[in-house]
Structure 1
Amino acid sequence: MAQIRLVNVCKRWGSYVGVDNFSLEIADAEFLVLLGPSGCGKTTTMRMIAGLEESTSGEIWIGDRMVNGMEPKDRDISMVFQSYGLYPNLTVYENIRFPLRVRNVPKAEHDARVMRAAEMVELGPLLDRRPAALSGGQRQRVALARAIVREPNAFLMDEPLSNLDAKLRVSTRAQIKNLHHTLKTTTIYVTHDQIEAMTLADRVVVMNKGQVQQVGTPTEIYDRPANTFVASFIGSPAMNLIPGHIAGGVFGADGMQVANLAAANGPVTLGFRAEDAQVVSDGGNIQAPVYAMELLGDATLVSVRIAGALVAVRAPKDFRIDIGAPLQISVPLSVVHLFDASTGARIAL
């Protein structure tokens, strides 16, 4: 097991900055998720930790060793990739066993370690099959078992669920969560899927354009986003963000007013989540015609347009209304977030 530290780590290709001044301490046995859109630097950060990419500057520590310049094989980490990377000519058993052979682990230990790893991911009945005879979910479990059998200091997982369908993603996600609880091995997990981040992580690092936007628990990031990027990236649907002005403690935008805000006069962006507001028959602080209605099964998502922004609210699952019909939405003061109109940074209320 190992603590992992990154100190002012940068990666540049000429004038292009892939990762900019990244510093973070990852605790022993922590499950940390690097989250962000494509091109934000999350995979590059993981590849630098693994030794597959050389950092331009900064220090990377695994345990008490600075590993800059150290070969990947000497860093005592296991990786699980988006592509399964299985050997098609080998059985499931031999694919799982392969890291033990490469690292010259005594043969007497192989069978017990392979069987233990296979049991953890429920592959016992499939050990004699070859990858071509497996489903996508089963292949991903083989890749997980191959990483487990190493018994490394840390796991690095790069979008391991991206090739699976929605149902398999849910079940494999639960398996990864249970594995981490059982193994208690430091894990760094890269994803663009905020649901994976929220359900798996002890802490989430939200990245954009090579820079860290916010680090915190899933609850902290969801409840108190540091800026409009985090607010718009976390949540399904994303937080409603409405441009407007504050004058005398009242936020105003076309079709919306919120009073009693303790904030300075001027342009701001107001945010609230769809589940924190409600449709009302009278006295709402949003009044606008219905733009769209979506049935979600457990709720109905109703959207309106306010100041050019699409704003969604969750209504009861049996709620029905025609597109174009007038709608009133109540947004309590207690659920409102304010962000600086120019920088996007959170404004304390």
Structure 2
Amino acid sequence: MAEVQLRHIDKRWGDFVGVKDFDLTIPDKEFLVLLGPSGCGKSTTMRMIAGLEDATSGDILIGGKVVNDLEPKDRDVAMVFQSYALYPNMTVYENIRFPLKVRHIDPATHDEKVMRAAEMVELTDFLHRRPADLSGGQRQRVALARAIVREPNVFLMDEPLSNLDAKLRVSTRAQIKNLSHELQITTIYVTHDQIEAMTLADRVVVMSAGNVQQVGTPTEIYNYPANTFVASFIGSPAMNLVKGTISNGVFTAENMTIRGLDTALSGDITLGFRAEDAEVNPVGSAPDVTEISGIKANVFSIELLGEATMITLKIGDALVAVKAGKDYSTEIGHVFSTNIPASICHLFDASTGLRLNNGSQSE
């Protein structure tokens, strides 16, 4: 059993708070992703679990045992770093084998364990090479194999893909996803890349400035962001957020009118919607904004994505993205209109940023 419990963990350096009241239980075999921008406290949280940082207050439990006072080597966790941390003078085989030697595992079992770990990450043809002779993706797979060979209770992965190019990130991400399914070991993964979080995680913890903003499955966080920070951080592109006013169920902003919203709300508000949810009107069809529930504005920019065309509009100070079909054709400066049903809108408090509606307006 490798359940991990973080009980009201704080980390402070003098007056600076790195992590504030982090309280979460990570069930056995769960793949949990800590997601947020640089400096949000996600790596600090992981380092406290690993024993590389001491918690200022709170308890860390692994498998039901408090580990605050245990050395990193005694916590039965394996960590994969962003920098690979391989020994340049050792072959791939010896790099993978090294944790077994350090932990005094029976040498008679080493070869079988190394070969099994190498096979899992498709490195059996590279065992004789040294790290300098490998690509970035291969080096990261050596680091993964070195963690696997230990057979730990918990995997800790700190931005393991950030040094790889885009193509290698995709393939190595698939490798990690497959390994997670095969090994069934509790995994805590740190990243600033929301695509990694969405594709890998059973649950995601979104963090900002040391605080947990939301915990949920990727689907929950994408469909029902708890606040404007989460809404603006999750999704590619991020959710559109437009400040305006609402009265009698009608939201208004520059070149934008949305009808059919909650009639109980009034005053300043932030309205959100996703680029793929808006309904694009045909080219040349641009009814007056006062007659529709949507946007009518001039095209600010156009991006051809292959499978779609991304149209950007400027609504007040906000840039708003709308995803049109791949064959949609227009030009910068031309009039563009889109329908935005109330059912796809997310409403947030203008001052606190907190979510006001529980789900789509149609629910």
Q: Is the TM value for this pair above 0.5? A: yes
Mapping of residues 289-328 of structure 1, within 5 Å: 289-328=298-337
1:71 aligns with 2:80: no
- Cα distance between partner residues in 2 of 1:248 and 1:335: 18
TM-score by length of 1: 0.99
- Residue of structure 2 in register with 1:269 after alignment: 270
CA distance in 1, matches of 2:303, 2:68: 51
Partner in structure 2 of residue 8 of structure 1: 8
Partner Cα separation in structure 1 for residue 83 and residue 270 of structure 2: 40
Q: Does the 8 Å CA contact 2:249/2:259 hold for their aligned counterparts? A: yes
What aligned pairs does 1:1-349 form with structure 2 within 5 A after superposition? 1-262=1-262, 263-280=264-281, 281-283=285-287, 284=292, 285-348=294-357
Confirm or deny: 8 A CA contact 2:249 2:265 kept in the other structure: yes
List, as ranges, runs of 4+ consecutive aligned residues in structure 1 with deviation greater than 3 Å.
Answer: none
- Residue type of the alignment partner of 1:91: T
SS in 2 for 1:119: helix
* Cα deviation 1:84-123 (Å, max 9, x = unaligned): 1000110000000000000000101100000000000000
Query: For 2:303 and 2:327, how far apart are their aligned partners in 1?
Result: 11
Give distance in 2, aligned partners of 1:117 and 1:183.
11
Counterpart of 2:5 in structure 1: which amino acid? Answer: R
Q: Residue 286 of structure 2 contacts residue 296 of structure 2 at CA under 8 Å; is this kept in 1? A: no
Deviations 1:169-211 (A, max 9, x none): 0000000000010000000000000000000000000000000
5+ residue gaps, structure 2, are: none
Amino acid at match of 1:276: D
Greater mean alpha carbon deviation, residues 283-292 or residues 263-272: 283-292
Structure 2 SS opposite 1:275: coil
Q: Which amino acid aligns with 1:331?
A: I
Q: Secondary structure at the match of 1:222?
A: helix
Q: Distance in 2 between matches of 1:160 and 1:254?
A: 43
- Flag structure 1 segments of 5+ consecutive residues without an equivalent: none
- Which string of whole-angstrom CA distances, capped at 9 and with x for unpartnered residues, describes residues 126-181 of structure 1? 00001111010000000000000000000000000001010110000000000010
> 2 CA distance for matches of 1:66 and 1:9?
13
- Looking at structure 2, the residues matched to 139 and 212 of structure 1 have their Cα atoms a distance apart, in angstroms, of 32
RMSD of aligned alpha carbons: 0.8
1:307 is displaced (CA, Å) by 2.1
2:279 corresponds to which letter in structure 1? Q
- Aligned-residue sequence identity (percent) comes to 69
Q: 2-side partners of 1:49 and 1:270: how far apart?
A: 38
Q: How far apart are 1:329 and its partner, in Å?
A: 1.0
- How many pairs align? 349
- Could you report, residue by residue, the CA deviation over 1:266-324 in whole angstroms, capped at 9, with x for unpaired residues? 11000000000022124452111110000001000001111211001001111111111
Structure 1: distance between partners of 2:346 and 2:337 = 20
CA separation in 1, counterparts of 2:331 and 2:64? 63
Distance 2:326 2:248 in 1: 38
Q: TM-score, normalization: structure 2?
A: 0.95
- How far apart in 1 are the matches of 2:48 and 2:109? 31
Retained in 1: the 8 A contact 2:286–2:336? no
| AA in 2 matched with 1:344 | G
Q: Distance between the aligned counterparts of 2:317 and 2:255, measured in 1?
A: 10
Amino acid at match of 1:312: A
* Farther-moved stretch of structure 1 (262-271 vs 111-120): 262-271
